[in-house]
Amino acid sequence: MIGLWSVPLLFALPLALGILSLLVTPAWRPRLIFVGLPLLTLASVDVLARLVLEGPRIYELGGWEAPLGINLVVDGLAVGMILMTTLVASLCALYARVYLRDYPASSSFFWPLLWLLWAGMNGIWLAEDIFNLYVGLEVMGLAAVGMVALRATPQALAAAMRYLLAALLGSLAYLLGVALLYATYGTLSMAGLQEAAAPNATTHVALALIILGLLLKTALFPLHAWLPPAHGGALTPVSALLSALVIKGSFYILMRIWLVLGPEVTPIFTAQLLGVLGAGAVFYGGWMAWRQHHLKQLVAYSTVAQIGYLFLFFPLVTGTGPEAARLAWDGTLMMLVAHALAKAALFLSAGNLILAVGSTQISHLVGISRFRPMSLFSFGLAGVSLMGLPPSGGFTGKWLLLHSAILSDQWWWLIVLFLGGLLSAAYIFKVFRMSFREGPQIDRSITPPLTLDVTALILASASILIGLTAHLPLFWLRLGSAFGAG
Amino acid sequence: MSGALVFAWSGVLLFGLGLFGFIAHRHLLRRLLAFNIMGSGSFLVLVGLAQDGRGVDPVPHAMVITGIVVAVASTALALVVFRRWYRASGRTDLPEDT
Amino acid sequence: MTWNALILFGVLATSLVASAVIFLLAESRHTTRSVFNLAAAVVKLLLVGWIVWGVYQNIDYEFRFTIIEGVDFILRADALGMMFVGLSSLLWLFTTIYAIGYLEKAPNRSRFFGFFSLCVASTVGIALAGNLFTFLLFYELLTLSTYPLVVHRGTRESLRAGQVYLYYTLGGGALLLFGVVALHVLVGDTEFVPGGVLSGLDPSLHPLLIGIFLMMIIGLGVKAALFPLHAWLPMAMVAPAPVSALLHAVAVVKAGAFGIARLVYDVYGIEFAFSLGLLGPLAVAASITIIYGSLRALAQDDLKKRLAFSTVSQVSYIILGISLFGPVGTLGGLVHLLHQGLMKITLFFCAGNYAETLGVHKISELDGAGQRMPATSVAFTLGAFGMIGIPPMAGFISKWYLGIGALEVGMNWVLGVLILSSLLNAAYFLPILYRIWFRRRERLWCEGKVLGRFETSGWLLLPTLATAAFALVAGVLAGMPFSPLYWADLIVSREYLP
C275 CA: distance to closest CA in chain A (Å) = 26
- The answer to whether A154 contacts B85, with C-beta atoms less than 8 Å apart, is yes
Chain A, chain C: beta-carbon pairs less than 8 Å apart: 88
Q: Is A242 on the interface with C (CB under 8 A)?
A: no
Nearest 5 degrees, angle CA C196-CA C199-CA C202?
A: 145
Indicate the SS3 state at residue C191: strand
User: Taking a C-beta distance cutoff of 8 angstroms, is the pair A18, A110 a contact?
Assistant: no
d(CA C164, CA C383): 29
Percent of chain B with pLDDT over 70: 86
DSSP type of residue C151: T
Q: How many degrees, rounded to 5, is the angle at CA C235 between CA C233 and CA C236?
A: 65
Q: Lowest-pLDDT range, A54-68, C383-397, C414-428?
A: A54-68
Nearest to C47 by CA among C61, C57, C34, C35: C61
What sign for the dihedral angle of Cα C251, C257, C263, C264? negative
Let me know: does A421 contact C174? Beta carbons within 8 Å: yes
pLDDT tens for each residue of A313-358? 999 988 888 888 889 999 999 999 999 999 999 999 999 988 888 8
- Contact criterion met (CB < 8 Å) for A152 and B54: no
**B15 Cβ partners below 8 Å, 6+ apart?**
A172, A176, B37, B38, B41, B42, B45
Neighboring chain A residues of B57 at a CB cutoff of 8 Å: 186
pLDDT tens digits, B31-72: 999 999 999 998 888 888 766 566 677 788 888 888 899 899
Task: Name the 3-class secondary structure at C195.
Answer: coil
Whether chain A has a CB inside 8 Å of the CB on C69: the answer is yes
Residues of A in contact with C66 (CB under 8 A): 471
Q: Find the residue in A nearest to B94 (Cα).
A: A158
C107 touches chain A (CB under 8 A): yes
- % residues pLDDT > 90 (chain C): 6
CB contact under 8 A, C68 and A436: no
Among candidates C1, C192, C190, C161, which has minimal Cα distance to C82? C192
Considering only CA atoms, which of A333, A456, A309, A334 is closest in space to residue A395? A334
C111 vs A: CB within 8 A:
yes
Euclidean distance between CA atoms C76 and A374, whole angstroms: 33
Q: Which residues of A touch B10 (CB under 8 A)?
A: none
CB–CB of A120/A137 below 8 Å?
yes
Cβ(C488)–Cβ(C339) under 8 Å? no
How far apart are the C-alpha atoms of A386 and A394, rounded to whole Å? 6
Which chain B residue has its CA at the smallest distance from A159's CA?
Answer: B94
C66 with A471: Cβ contact below 8 A: yes
Write the residue in A330, A421, A470 that is nearest to C174 by C-beta.
A421
* Terminal alpha carbon distance of chain C: 30
**DSSP letter string over C418-483?**
HHHHHHHHHHHHHHHHHHHHH---SSPP-------SSSS-HHHHHHHHHHHHHHHHHHHTTTSTTS
* Chain A residues touching residue B49 (CB < 8 angstroms): 179-180, 182-183
A476 and chain C in contact, CB less than 8 A: no
The answer to whether C406 and C412 are in contact (CB under 8 A) is yes
| C touches B, CB cut-off 8 Å, minimum 3 pairs | no
State whether A468 and C155 contact (CB < 8 Å): no
Closest C-alpha to C284, from C327, C333, C331, C319? C319
This complex has an ipTM of 0.91
Handedness of CA A194, A195, A200, A201 (dihedral sign): negative
Q: Is A19 on the interface with C (CB under 8 A)?
A: no
The DSSP code sequence of C48-82 is HHHHHHHHHTT--EEEEEEEETTEEEEEEE-HHHH
| pLDDT, position A486 | 40
Q: DSSP state, C196? A: -
Smallest Cβ–Cβ distance between A474 and the set C68, C73, C144 belongs to C68
Mean pLDDT on C381-407:
85
Alpha-carbon separation of residue A178 from A134, A186, A239, A316, C178 (angstroms):
9, 11, 30, 26, 42
C481 CB burial (10 A radius; 0-12, 13-18, 19+)? exposed
Q: Which residues of chain A have a CB within 8 Å of the CB of C108? A: 369-370
- DSSP class of residue C225 equals T
Mean pLDDT, rounded, of chain C: 85
* Best mutation target, C23, C24, C67, to test chain A (most A CBs within 10 A): C67
Residue A66: per-residue pLDDT? 66
What is the DSSP-derived secondary structure letter of residue C231?
A: T
Which residues of chain A make contact with C113, given a CB cutoff of 8 A? none
CATH number of B3-89: 1.10.287.3510
Distance CA C161, CA C152 (A): 11
Interatomic CA distance for residues A390 and A338, integer angstroms: 12
What single-letter amino acid sits at B88?
A
**Element at C365 (helix H, strand E):** none
From the list C266, C221, C401, the residue with the least C-alpha distance to C321 is C401
**pLDDT tens digits for range A444-461:** 667 788 888 899 999 999
Verify whether the Cβ–Cβ distance B45 to A225 is below 8 Å.
no
Quick one: pLDDT at residue A212? 94
Contact C317, C287 (CB under 8 A): no
Chains C and A contact (Cβ–Cβ under 8 Å for 3 or more pairs): yes
Looking at beta carbons, which residues of chain C come within 8 Å of A391?
137, 141
Q: Where are the domains of chain A?
A: 269-486
Contact C108 A402 (CB under 8 A): no
Whether C496 has a pLDDT exceeding 80, the answer reads no
DSSP C302: B
A138 contact residues in B (CB cutoff 8 A): 70, 73-74
User: In chain B, which among 42-81 make CB contacts under 8 A with chain A?
Assistant: 42, 45-46, 49-50, 52, 54, 57-60, 63, 66-67, 70, 73-74, 77-78, 81
pLDDT at residue A349, as a whole number? 93
* Interchain CB distance below 8 Å, C73 and A429: no
Compare all CA atoms of chain A with the CA of B18 and give the residue at the minimum distance: A169
Say if CB C92 and CB C25 are below 8 A apart. no
| Distance in angstroms between the alpha carbons of the first and the last residue of chain A | 30
Chain A residues contacting B via beta carbons under 8 Å? 67-68, 131, 134-135, 138, 142, 145-146, 149, 152-154, 157-158, 160-162, 164-165, 168-169, 171-172, 175-176, 179-180, 182-183, 186, 188, 225
Report the C-alpha dihedral over residues A308, C139, A325, A334, rounded to 10 degrees. -60
| Among A330, A406, A422, beta carbon nearest to C185 | A406
> Touching check for A436 and chain C: CB below 8 Å?
yes
DSSP C7-23: HHHHHHHHHHHHHHHHH
Sort out which chain A residues have CB atoms less than 8 A from C137's CB and list them: 390-391, 395
| DSSP symbol at C363 | G
pLDDT tens-place values along chain A, 486 residues long: 445 778 888 989 999 999 999 998 888 888 889 989 999 999 999 999 888 888 888 888 777 776 667 888 888 899 999 999 999 999 999 999 999 888 888 888 899 999 999 999 999 999 988 888 999 999 999 999 999 999 888 888 999 999 999 999 999 999 989 988 888 888 888 888 888 888 888 888 899 999 999 999 999 988 888 999 999 889 999 999 999 999 999 999 999 999 888 667 777 788 899 999 999 999 999 999 999 999 999 999 999 999 999 999 999 988 888 888 889 999 999 999 999 999 999 999 999 988 888 888 888 888 777 777 788 888 989 999 999 888 899 999 999 999 999 988 888 899 999 899 999 999 998 888 888 887 665 556 677 888 888 999 999 999 999 988 888 888 888 888 877 644
Using a CB–CB cutoff of 8 Å, tell me whether A402 touches chain C. yes
End-to-end, the C-alpha distance of chain B in Å comes to 40
Query: Letter for the amino acid at C347?
Result: L
Q: Is the dihedral of CA A53, A56, A58, A62 positive or negative?
A: positive
SS (H, E, C) chain B: CCHHHHHHHHHHHHHHHHHHHHHHCCCHHHHHHHHHHHHHHHHHHHHHHHCCCCCCCHHHHHHHHHHHHHHHHHHHHHHHHHHHHHHHHCCCCCCCCC
Give the per-residue SS3 of chain A: CHHHHHHHHHHHHHHHHHHHHHHCCHHHHHHHHHHHHHHHHHHHHHHHHHHHHHCCEEEEHHHCCCCCCCEEEECHHHHHHHHHHHHHHHHHHHHHHHHHHHCHHHHHHHHHHHHHHHHHHHHHHHECEHHHHHHHHHHHHHHHHHHHHCCCCHHHHHHHHHHHHHHHHHHHHHHHHHHHHHHHHCCCEHHHHHHHCCCCHHHHHHHHHHHHHHHHHHCCCCCCCCHHHHHHHCCHHHHHHHHHHHHHHHHHHHHHHHHHHHHHHCCHHHHHHHHHHHHHHHHHHHHHHHHCCEHHHHHHHHHHHHHHHHCCHHHHHCCCCHHHHHHHHHHHHHHHHHHHHHHHHHHHHHHHHHHHHCCCEHHHHCCHHHCCHHHHHHHHHHHHHHHCCCCCHHHHHHHHHHHHHHHCCCCHHHHHHHHHHHHHHHHHHHHHHHHHCCCCCCCCCCCCCHHHHHHHHHHHHHHHHHHHCCHHHHHHHHCCCCCCCC
Contact assessment for residue C352 and residue C102, using Cβ atoms and an 8 Å cutoff: yes
> In this complex, which chains have at least 3 CB pairs below 8 Å with chain C?
A
Give the lowest-confidence range in A255-269, A325-339, C420-434, C449-463: C449-463
Provide φ and ψ at C189, rounded to 5°: -55, 120
